Amino acid sequence: MTPRDRQELAAHRLLTVIGRHGAAIARTLEQKISDAGPFNQRIDPHILIPARNLLVQQGALRRIREHGRDWYALSDAPSKWIAERIESQFDVLRQTLDNAFVHRVGDALEIAVYRALKASTLHSLGGFRGLTDEPTTRSPRKEEPPSIFAGRELQGNKRFDFLVGQKAWAGIECKNIREWLYPDREEIRHMLRKAVEMDIPAHLNRSPHSLCHP
């Protein structure tokens, strides 16, 4: 598929998803178009965002500022319906932004990684004490891997979420942030600095709580 084809597909997907959704924030569009949908119709954000901005400039989409966020809607959609869709979605969005909820989503990612490491043949450092399958409202107790490993020391109060390996080791970083991370993001630089200080490879897992956005 040529770049022009991808741009046209991005515009088509945006109009279709927003038309069905009524109104949507950027994260919702990324989740539904970049992360989900038919595999051959997924559009990466570096193409999706310019296509969205162009549709706004052309008048096909409206950008509406409500509740401290930009919402996108079809220009010919009824204003009353758009307002209703924004309010109903924001009620759910507000709950997903609660700090307790965000931390629990982050815990879920780290627990999933920990259980995967336990089930593998690799050795690992870092994990949860007393972890069971029983439902609980308490945050699990996590022990971080050491900041000194193989004679190398991480500066400051830095740690990987897990260290994993056998003869060779690597650091694993879990991030509960928006789903797409580009090389210039501080989270990436922070992870790479730790990898350089320990002289080991690093791998990033992400748990986008925006997947829970309406």
How many domains does the structure of the chain reveal? 2
Whether residues 37 and 104 share a domain: the answer is no
DSSP character at residue 212: G
pLDDT at 209 over 70: no
- In sequence order, the β-bridge partners of residue 123 are 165
Whether residues 49 and 117 share a domain: the answer is no
CATH number of 157's domain: 3.40.1350
When computed from its CA atoms, the radius of gyration of the chain, rounded to whole angstroms, is 21
Whether residues 105 and 190 share a domain: the answer is yes
- Quick: pLDDT tens for 5-40: 999 999 999 999 999 999 999 989 988 998 887 888
Measured CA distances, 62 to 44, 53, 89, 150 (Å): 21, 10, 17, 55
Whether residues 109 and 62 share a domain: the answer is no
The answer for residues whose C-beta is within 8 angstroms of residue 129's C-beta and 6 or more apart is: 140, 141, 142, 143
Whether residues 141 and 185 share a domain: the answer is yes
User: Can you give the residue range of the structural domain that contains 122?
Assistant: 100-212
Cα torsion at 179, 183, 187, 190 (round to 10°)?
A: 160
Q: What is the pLDDT of residue 213?
A: 36
Whether residues 136 and 157 share a domain: the answer is yes
Q: How far apart are CA 29 and CA 26, in angstroms?
A: 5
Asked which of 80, 96, 112 is the last residue of a domain, the reply is 96
- Quick: pLDDT tens for 141-184: 899 999 998 889 898 888 999 999 988 899 998 887 655 677 77
Whether residues 122 and 208 share a domain: the answer is yes
Whether residues 76 and 108 share a domain: the answer is no
Q: What is the pLDDT of residue 204?
A: 78
Whether residues 38 and 83 share a domain: the answer is yes
Work out the average pLDDT over 54-81. Answer: 96
Whether residues 84 and 39 share a domain: the answer is yes
Q: How far apart are CA 88 and CA 93, in angstroms?
A: 9
Average pLDDT over the chain reads 87
- In sequence order, the β-bridge partners of residue 115 are none
Q: What is the pLDDT of residue 15?
A: 97
- Quick: pLDDT tens for 98-109: 777 777 888 888
Q: What is the pLDDT of residue 179?
A: 54
Whether residues 175 and 163 share a domain: the answer is yes
Asked which of 66, 96, 126 is the last residue of a domain, the reply is 96
Whether residues 81 and 162 share a domain: the answer is no
Work out the average pLDDT over 52-56. Answer: 97
Asked which of 67, 96, 125 is the last residue of a domain, the reply is 96
The answer for residues whose C-beta is within 8 angstroms of residue 65's C-beta and 6 or more apart is: 71
CATH number of 23's domain: 1.10.10.10
DSSP character at residue 34: I
Q: Pairing mode, if any, of strands 123-125 and 169-175?
A: unpaired
